[in-house]
Chains A and B, each alone.
Chain A
Amino acid sequence: MKLSVWTYEGPPHVGAIRVATGMKRVHLVLHAPQGDTYADLLFTMIERRNHRPPVTYTTFQARDLGSDTATLFKDACLEAYERFKPDLLLVGASCTAELIQDDPGGLAEALGLPVPVVALELPSYQRKENFGADETFYQIVRKLAHPVERSAEITCNLIGPTALGFRHRDDIVEITKLLSELGVQVNVCAPMYATPDDIANLGRAHFNVLMYPETGETACRHMERTLGLPFTKTVPIGVSATNEFVDEVLGLIGRARSECSVDSRLPWYSASVDSTYLTGKRVFIFGDGSHVMTAARIAKEEIGFDVVGMGCYNRELARPVRAMAKELGLEALITEDYLEVEAEIADLSPELILGTQMERHIGKRLGIPCAVISAPVHVQDFPARFSPQMGAEGANVIFDTWVHPLVMGLEEHLLTMFREDFEFSDTAGPSHHAAHSPNQEIVDQPTSIAASDQSANIIWLSDAEKELRKIPFFVRGKARRNTEKYATDHGVAQISIETLYEAKAHYAR
C-alpha cells in the first residue's frame, strides 16, 4: 500500500458507512481500532449531516490485542442492537481489525439477534471506498431482496445514491421528476433513503435506474439475474446523455422513442455568441470514471472545449475510461496518486480543470481555474441550493459551474487592452475568483515546472522573454510551452523573438 497525504478514496469500510448512513433503520458495527471513528466527521462536517452515522466502532486499543477482542466485538454488537434496535445489522472490520481475524460475521450470527445480519468482507488492502459501497449494497440486496409481485403501474428503482455522494441528493430529485414526466413512478430509491423493508420490495419495480455505476452496478446485475429487473446503462449527465437515457427508459417500458429533447438551457447558452470564446479551451478532466466520461462528452460536444487529458482514480472503471480517452486521441491517466495528476496537469497546462477536491487544490497551486465534477468533494460542494448534475437542470448547473471560473470572452480583450490597469493587471489572475488568483510569480511557475528535460537546455534570450511578458497571462503559459516545444523539435538552442513568432505561426489553427 502506498502512503499518501491525501487519497481520492477511503478504505472500503468508508464505503460501507456511506451505504449505512444513506439508509434508514440500519446499523453497522465495525471492528475497528480507536482512531477509525474519524470517519464520522466526513458525514457530519463535510455533508453537514445533523445525525451521527449509524456506526458503532469496537475501538479496541493496542493493549486489547493480546486478549479477547472477539468478546469485545460481541459485546459491542449486543449493545448496539439494544440501543438502536435496527431492522438490519451490518458487521465488518476496518483495515487494522482485518488483520486480527476475529470473524465478525460468524460472531454476530452466533449472537442469535432477532434481525437479519449481513457480514461484510472488505479487503482493505486491495480495494477502496467505491468497492466497499458497491459490495455492501450488493450484500444487503442479496440478503433481503426476493421476488415479489410487480406493481400494477410502471415503476422503477433508483440505484446507487449514498451518503457523501457528489450531488446525489439533488440528482435523486431531478431524475424522479424526469421519470414522472415519462409516466414512471419510483418504487424504491436505494441505498439512500431506503429501509430494509424497502430493499425487500425492490422486486416490485419493472426496472432499475443505475444512477451511479461506482456504487450500484453489482447490485443491479444481481437483481437482473434474480429478480428479472433490467437496468439502464446511460448515466444521464449532460443533454445528449439525458436524451439517450430517456430513450432507454422508453425502450424498457415499451413506449415509442421520443423525438423531443430535454428542456435544458445548455444548448442555447452554449450556442449564444458570448460562448464563442469557450471554443477550443483546453481542459483536463479527472475524477471517478462515470463523472469523467460524462464530463468529457459534455466538454467536447456540448460546450466545445478541447479535452487535452482525462483519467480516473477508480480502477474499476479504468477500461471504459481508457477506451473513451483513446477515441479522443488521448491516453487516460489511471492513478490514485494525486501527485501524478498534478504532474500531468502541470505538463499539459490546460486552461480549465474539471476535477475533484484534489484537482481544485492543484489548480490553486498552479493558478489554473477548476470546476468540481466528482467526489471526493469538500463542504462547499454540498450547496444549499438545488444543484443536481443529472437531467435538464443538471446540464444547466454544469454550464454555469464550468464557465464561472473562466475569464469571460470580452473580459479577455479588456485584459489585453488595459494591462496597466489594476483591475485587469497580470496579478488579477485567470479568474475573478480570489481563490484562483495567485500572484504572478506563482502563475508562471507551472511552465517552468512543466519544462521537459529537453527544454531545460533551451535558453530564452532576454528580448524574447520580454516579448513573452507582453502576451496576456491567460495565454502566456501556452505560448511559452509551445515555443519551447517548437525549439526542441527544431533543434533551436536559444529562443529569440523570431523563434517565438515562428512557433506562434507553427501552432496556428
Chain B
Amino acid sequence: MEAVIRDLPNDDKTQLAVLGALPDVVQDQMMRLFTDMGIDDVLVLPQQTAGIPAGVGKNTHFICAQPFLGAAYDEMVRRGANAIHAPFPFGANGTTEWLAAIAKRFGIDQDKFDAATAGPKARAERAIAKVSETLAGRSIFFFPDSQLEVPLARFLSDECGMKLTEVGSPYIHRALVGEDLKLIEHNAVISEGQDVEKQLDRVTACNPDLTVCGLGLANPLEAQGLSTKWAIELVFSPIHFYEQAADLAGLFARPIVRSDLLKVGGAI
C-alpha cells in the first residue's frame, strides 16, 4: 500500500480517499452510503481495478478502513493528504462515528447524513441486540494478533455489553486507533507487543469467557477449557459497516454458543 501510494501522481482535486481492502459486497455498501450522503468523489485504495487514473494531493481527505495500515497512513500524510480520525466502522456506533467524521470534514448537513444512515443504523442496532444476548456480561481477553484488537474491543464493550479484561495488540498506532482507544482505556488493561508466556499466565489467571488469539494458541487454550476465537477469521470475514455488524457480533457469539451446545466433554 505504501508503495502504491508513493507511485500515485499528484492530484489536487478535493476528494475522499478510503484506505484498506474490503470485500466487494462491503465496498459497494460503503459507496452507496457515500452516494446517499452526497459524496461522489471517492478513491478507494487499493483500487479494485487496475489502470483507472488516480492521484492524491493536498485536497485529498483520507480515512482508514483497516487499522493495520500504519505505513500507508504515514505515506498519505507525507503526500500532503489530510487524515480524518474516527473510531473504525465496526458495529452501528462505530460505522456512524466513522461516517460522521467524514460528513463533518465534507460539510454534509445533518439531515442529509441522517437520511442516509438512520435506516441501516436502526436495523444494525436491532440485529446486534439479538446476538448480544449471548455476549452481554461475558468477559473477553485479546492476545495480540491482527491489530484489529482495539477497535473490536471498542465494539464488543460499547455495543455488545462484553466485559473487557486485557486487550493486547502487536502494535498500537495511536493516529489510527486512538479514537477507539479513548473509549476503552478506562475499563481494560491495554498491552502492546508480545510476551506470550506471561500473557498465557494472565489469561489463565483471569479465565475469560472468550479468548481471541492466533491459530497457534487456540487449541491448547481450548484443551485448557477456554472458549477461543481465531483472530485470523476477523481479517478474512466481511465485518465492516452496518449490514455486517451482527455478523461480527456473531463471530464472537459462536464459540460461546458452541460450548453451551456440546454435551460431550472436549478437554483431553
Contact = CB atoms under 8 A, between A and B. Distances in A.
Interface of A: 239-240, 261, 266-268, 270-273, 275-277, 279-280, 300-302, 304, 409-410, 413-414, 416-417, 419, 467, 470-471, 497-498, 501-502, 504-506, 508-509
A277 B259 CA distance: 13
Contacts of A266: 264
A264 to B, nearest CB: 8
Contact of A301 (B120, B130, B262): B262
Interface stretch (B9-17, B70-78, B229-237): B229-237
Contact of A505 (B25, B123, B232): B123
B258 A276 contact: yes
A58 B116 CA distance: 82
A28 B195 CA distance: 74
A266 B123 CA distance: 39
Contact of B266 (A271, A279, A498): A271
Given A271-B222, A273-B218, A273-B230, A505 B126 contact: yes
B264 A509 contact: no
A261 B267 CA distance: 12
Interface stretch (B145-153, B173-181, B249-257): B249-257
B211 to A, nearest CB: 10
A441 to B, nearest CB: 21
Contacts of A272: 219, 222, 266
B20 to A, nearest CB: 14
Given A261-B265, A413-B236, A504-B243, 10 more contacts: A239-B264, A267-B265, A271-B266, A271-B267, A277-B254, A280-B254, A410-B232, A414-B236, A470-B24, A505-B243
B203 to A, nearest CB: 15
Main secondary structure of the interface of B (DSSP, over half): helix
Interface of B: 23-25, 28, 32, 119-120, 123-124, 126-128, 130-131, 215, 218-219, 222-223, 228-230, 232-233, 236-238, 242-243, 246-247, 250, 254-255, 257-259, 261-268
Nearest to A302: B264
B145 to A, nearest CB: 13
Contacts of A504: 127, 243, 246
A407 to B, nearest CB: 13
Nearest to A468: B25
B52 to A, nearest CB: 17
A420 to B, nearest CB: 9
A410 B233 contact: yes
Contacts of B123: 501-502, 505
A270 B263 contact: no
B131 A509 contact: yes
A295 B130 CA distance: 30
Contacts of B127: 504-506, 508
Contacts of A239: 264
A416 B32 CA distance: 20
